[in-house]
Chain A
Amino acid sequence: MFKTLLKEVRQYKMPALLTPLWTTLEVIMGVLIPYVTAQIIDRGIQAGDLGNVYRYGAVMVGIALLSLLFGILAGEFAAYSSTGLAANLRTAQYKAIQRFSFSDIDKFSTAGLVTRMTTDVSNIQSAFQMLLRTSFRAPLNMVSALVMCFFIHARLSIIFLIAMVVLTVFLTFLIVRAARLFQEIFKQYDVVNGIVQENVSAIRAVKAYVRENQQIGLFDKAALALLRLNVKAESLMALNHPVMNLVVNGCVIALSWWGAHFIVDGSLTTGQLTSLLSYVMTILTSLMMLSMIFVQLTQSAASGSRIAEVINEVPDMQNPDNPVRTVPDGGIVFNHVYFSYKAGGDYALEDINLDIRPGETIGIIGGTGSGKSSLANLVCRLYDVSEGCVKVGGIDVRDYDMDVLRNQVATVLQRAVLFSGTVLDNLRWGREDATEEECREACRLACADEFIREMPEGYHTRIEQGGTNVSGGQRQRLCIARALLKRPKVLILDDSTSAVDTATDAKIRDTFARRIPGVTKLIISQRILSIREADRILVMDDGRVSGFDTHDNLLKANRIYQEINEMQSGGGEGDFDGNQD
């Protein structure tokens, strides 16, 4: 994981390496300051030598100037390299996601990927910055201050060592205890937020059944548990300050007592005692800081491994070495195809054998989970088969260049997704250089032209993120038009007119039959009405082909088809809820 993350430092390697150098120099300057102060007091003020006061004063101003310079450099370099790393990590992940196959996308949820690219990256950014600045500064501060102390008076400095041991033991105890508590707190936060989430989305159910008070009671209980845990954890953490004070001041008293003895002995000067006293804070705060670094690093380790997971994910689908770059025709063959979403998992498709001629219109029907979409997704190689093979135009889909295949086999996915941008921008996803007239033509085929022209700015109307300003049926028709712009040899509609009213649906099918007769069309639908006129209808049941024939023949012979037909009985039964836009 660390290797993966560190590799992404890339062009920011120099500043990243220089940061500790500047920090080191800054720390050295900072440590020298109390020492020089001691000189000012001892050699200058005490000796009554104004010249020495000036001399050492000048030295100190010089050191402070250098410390300022190095401090600014360290700050700037740290910010530069850590934000650079963050940017690289975002790019690396986004690149990796672009390489993902459909099954990789399924594996990482969308929300999960967004978190990895945002929250996790900023965690790593601050951890890296801290690593560069503080994790060098703290031990350096500590060690160099200790060295100075031993240099001033070795025997007296033993006090520091004792204090450090005491503090280390305490901090370890605290961190271990607190880490466990915080784990519990996070869990409880999830519980509390879970209740809110449920109630926000199910508010209608809550109100309809007058369950407000019950839910408030539930929430109150969870909030109380959170309160208890938080009080416990914070009370524990509150020990930090008093213990630190106790140790620091214990040191001050001990130093004063024995220091006085050594001064009387003549082995220590008052100036030196002053510097020792000022090192107390430096050493012990550094130790404390070190413990915090440790805690933050362990916390961000989780973020780091989540990021590394994305970057290191090997896409399970690659272009072949000598890919075929043209699709000869729109014929589709399934040859003993078995398919499972997880290696070794249950088959979503079992032993599928199909031979579809170019230009045929095929309807696909069946219950949820019967394998309709899985089957369609294999044609343009959104997933790879587990066994057997799928051929388009007589060539195994795995031998094609993936871009070529997907442009020639246009799939309209079940979820109609549009992107923010104008209607035209969205349509041109199908073909970047399509003229406005070509876009209009595609929309006419998909029965979308009419409503687009009624929109405030026609084809230049902006679609909001998620396509929220167009209705479900309009969104679906735009997606179909977008696919048509590819001028594909095969067109797959995966339940793509479910929100379109029955009349418009019929009109679209009719237009397809007349205007693009040469394109092989696979139409998945829940409605018999939508596929009734297809050349052949594929009835799927539990991952297997239950029937593959014309409407009339299936009605005679296929039990499942009969059942579905019965359910949707009557000539025009379907949705009264069809979209009336």
Chain B
Amino acid sequence: MAGFQGRGRGPQSGATLKDLRKSTSVLRLLRGMLREHKGALLTVVVCIVISAVTSLASSLFSRSLIDDYITPMLRTPATLFDGVGAGADYQPLALALLRLGVVILVGIIADYAYSLIMIRIGQGTMKRLRTDTFTRMQQLPLSYFDSHSHGDLMSVYTNDIDSLRQVIGSSLPRLLQALITLVATFVSMVVLSIPLTLVSLLFTVLIFLVTTRLGRRSKTYFTERQRNLGRVNGFIEEMVTGQKVVKVYCHEQKALDEFAVLNEDLRRSVFNANKIGNIIMPINSNIGNFGYVFIAIIGAVIALGGSQAWWLGGLNGSWLTLGTIVSFLTLHKHFTRPVSQISNEINQIVMAAAGADRVYAMLDETPEVDEGRVTLTDVRREGDRLVESAERTGRWAWKDGDRLVPLEGLVQLQDVDFGYVPGKQVLYDISLTAWPGQKIAFVGGTGAGKTTITNLINRFYEISDGTITYDGFNIRDISKASLRRSLGIVLQETHLFSGTVLDNIRFGRPDATDEQCREAARRVCADAFIRRLPNGYDTQLSADGGNLSQGERQLLAIARAAVADTPVLILDEATSSIDTRTEKMIQQGMDSLMKGRTNFIIAHRLSTVLGADYIMVLDHGRIIERGKHAELLAQKGKYYELFTGNQLT
């Protein structure tokens, strides 16, 4: 609600031009706008000049009104017998007012025009920035999301981009307008009277000095305020989140005491910061008032003194008249106002610059590398030959140049090393082969590296050493989109998207029909609970899936993978906190899903490991044991410990 809330944040932000110089993002933003809207921006500048000049012209009119029109009327009695001014000729005045009216109208039209253009440019730029940022975000590797909190990412959209709208939409045009007014006023003042201009300048410099001085002081308070605000927010967030613990431990009074201290610090610093913000206006306007008095007095002394020395007059050679003083007083007001306005707008820009920096930092991130040339394509068998098909045939092949290789689902890892951050290796020498149709189960404690391995197969992360091949192709040579389309995945934590149940299942394959989605749900035992929902398959789900239990959400994720119908599956079984009945359904669903595919399972359930062709026991990033359940038990090693729960720590 930029238009309504007023913009009186003023200099208490305490930012300075120096901060702005460090940031290039505002410049980049401007350059981008300039490139895209050159013509429109030129129009805007012309309009702003017209608007500034006309507003100055109208305020100068008071001089011509009194000097050139009203005073002459007083001096020209029509006949000796008429009273003063009785036969005054109003025609020149009428004409002058008409001229003024036209000038003002032109100014208003220019003003309105540039606002409308700026709104479109500003909002257009905002939209482009938003979409660009979102697009770039989608292309970033997962490691970016690991190293940035969700809150930080969100705030780029909710705070940073919006703060730029202020700059584009209002701060920049206002700054330009204020500068033009300042220059135009100054020129007019010099033309009218040199000595009075000097007086006015003196007071303007004074205003400027006071503003910067107070600004510098408020900067300290502002920083302090931000720090205290952060502390209070952090405290509230932490304690309210843990409020139930506070109650269970009868910790209420202690929490209150701690809060009181932080709250008082915050109050004091907000008071100090706001105080400066509040008193800066009366100080500036009254310095302006003092200037007003001095100009009146000095002007009167000069005018009444009758001296006609050239330096007492204006650049146009005229000397001070009553009307000149009056107009000069108006000009003086016009001169001081932009000074505080300019410092105000610069503050706004500096504040937004920090946001702009964050937006551009995100835009500058390097997207995921994807140099794969091998793509996935639908094929048909004609005789003993594979032929590419435009429709979905349920049969896929890898396409490498002209070569078509049927998609089988053979995945091999060879001496794979990996670390999320350089220098901190988490996987060592992982080698394994999953033949088409096999089930490979990973077991091991948290942090052993089970999930990490699966994240490497679909190239969420890039391995540091070794090779991973898929049907004989190095996965680096397969285009990422094709690679991932050939892998179905059920994550432990299911994320749903706002939309209907059907939409969420269809997430697995966008071109699936409603019936195909239903069929997939039936196949994995999700149909029963879905039909119990208020609107069945058309029930609206919220993003956090609040109306579904964790188990039900996982059933949807399984249905999603089922509709994608891929030759290779990655399954992350849920650990606990799922009630027995749902768990049974999930198990059935997963079993039916796994049939006829190559499966990688992060296993927590006995039935899963019993049915696995190979169990890989991971410990501290290495495969330490591998084999079937019975063989591993017989080894009495780590697997045995895990299985029997008799591990000694």
Contact = CB atoms under 8 A, between A and B. Distances in A.
User: Counting chain A CB atoms within 10 Å of each CB, which of B66, B85, B300 scores highest?
Assistant: B300
Interface string A533-575: 0000000000000000000000000001001100101111111
Contacts of B489: 205, 208-209
Contact of B577 (A206, A241, A419, A495): A495
Interface string B201-237: 0000000000000000000000000000000111011
A508 B292 CA distance: 83
Given A206-B138, A368-B579, A196 B154 contact: yes
Interface in A364-412: 366-370, 380, 382, 402-403, 406-407, 410-411
Interface stretch (A162-170, A220-228, A335-343): A220-228
Interface in B481-515: 481, 484-485, 487, 489, 491, 495-498, 507-508, 510
Given A78-B278, A83-B274, 19 more contacts: A53-B296, A71-B286, A79-B275, A98-B246, A98-B255, A118-B233, A201-B543, A204-B495, A212-B139, A256-B93, A264-B70, A274-B326, A292-B6, A296-B6, A419-B242, A570-B606, A572-B646, A576-B445, A580-B445
Contact of A430 (B58, B242, B249): B249
B56 interface: no
B491 A205 contact: yes
A82 interface: yes
Q: How large is the interface on B (under 10, 10 to 19, 20 to 34, 35 or more residues)?
A: 35 or more
Contacts of B138: 199, 206, 212, 215-216
A182 interface: yes
A577 to B, nearest CB: 5
B5 interface: yes
Interface stretch (B127-135, B309-317, B397-405, B467-475): B127-135
Contact of A295 (B4, B107, B278, B301): B4
A260 B69 contact: yes
A154 interface: no
Interface in B65-89: 65-66, 69-71, 73-74, 83-86, 88
Contacts of A101: 247
B279 A71 contact: yes
B354 to A, nearest CB: 19
A413 B4 contact: no
B362 to A, nearest CB: 12
Contact of A37 (B296, B564, B605): B296
Given A95-B256, A205-B491, A223-B130, A503 B647 contact: yes
B426 to A, nearest CB: 14
Given A64-B286, A270-B66, A204 B238 contact: no
A578 interface: yes
B34 interface: no
A209 B259 contact: no
Closest 4 CB pairs of A and B: A71-B282, A367-B579, A75-B278, A580-B445
B242 A72 contact: no
B1 interface: yes
A45 B304 contact: yes
B266 A87 contact: yes
A235 B445 CA distance: 60
B408 interface: no
Contact of A64 (B70, B90, B293): B293
B167 interface: no
Contacts of B416: none
B3 A94 contact: no
A201 B115 contact: no
Contacts of B551: 368
A566 B446 CA distance: 26
B294 to A, nearest CB: 8
A253 B101 contact: yes
13 contacts: A94-B256, A94-B259, A97-B240, A205-B507, A256-B100, A296-B4, A369-B549, A407-B250, A410-B248, A413-B248, A415-B244, A419-B239, A574-B645
Interface stretch (B36-44, B118-126, B182-190, B590-598): B118-126
B301 A50 contact: yes
Contact of B263 (A87, A227, A571): A87
Interface stretch (B23-31, B523-531, B580-588): B580-588
A422 interface: no
Nearest to B648: A503
Contact of B289 (A67, A117, A202, A270): A67
Interface in B271-301: 271, 274-275, 277-279, 281-283, 285-286, 289-290, 292-293, 296-297, 299-301
A417 B278 CA distance: 42
A76 B93 CA distance: 48
A325 interface: no
B11 interface: no
A145 to B, nearest CB: 15
A94 B257 CA distance: 11
Contacts of B275: 75-76, 79-80
A369 B579 contact: yes
Contact of B250 (A242, A299, A406, A526): A406
Contact of B244 (A241, A382, A567): A382
Contacts of B577: 368, 495, 498, 526
Given A64-B289, A114-B237, A274-B326, A450 B649 contact: yes
B575 interface: yes
A367 B580 contact: yes
A113 B239 CA distance: 11
B252 A98 contact: yes
B97 interface: yes
B614 to A, nearest CB: 15
Given A57-B297, A227-B127, A292-B4, A257 B97 contact: yes
B67 to A, nearest CB: 9
B104 A249 contact: yes
Given A33-B289, A403-B250, A570-B606, A207 B642 contact: no
A193 B285 CA distance: 42
Contacts of B289: 33, 60, 64, 67
A91 interface: yes
Contact of B495 (A41, A198, A473, A504): A198
Given A199-B138, A368-B549, A417-B245, A578 B71 contact: no
A86 B263 CA distance: 9
A260 B127 CA distance: 53
Given A204-B491, A210-B484, A526-B576, A80 B271 contact: yes
B460 interface: yes
B256 A194 contact: no
Interface string B311-329: 0000000000010011001
Given A60-B289, A83-B267, A295-B4, A71 B283 contact: yes
Contact of A41 (B124, B281, B326, B443): B326
A41 B260 contact: no
A199 B137 contact: yes
B332 to A, nearest CB: 11
B458 A68 contact: no
A564 B580 contact: yes
B647 A501 contact: yes
B549 to A, nearest CB: 6
A176 interface: no
B545 to A, nearest CB: 11
B643 interface: yes
A551 B296 CA distance: 101
Interface string B451-484: 0000000101000000000000000000011001
A230 B123 CA distance: 7
Contacts of B613: none
A469 to B, nearest CB: 14
B162 to A, nearest CB: 9
A240 interface: yes
B251 interface: yes
B428 interface: no
Nearest to A45: B300
Contacts of A197: 150, 154, 543
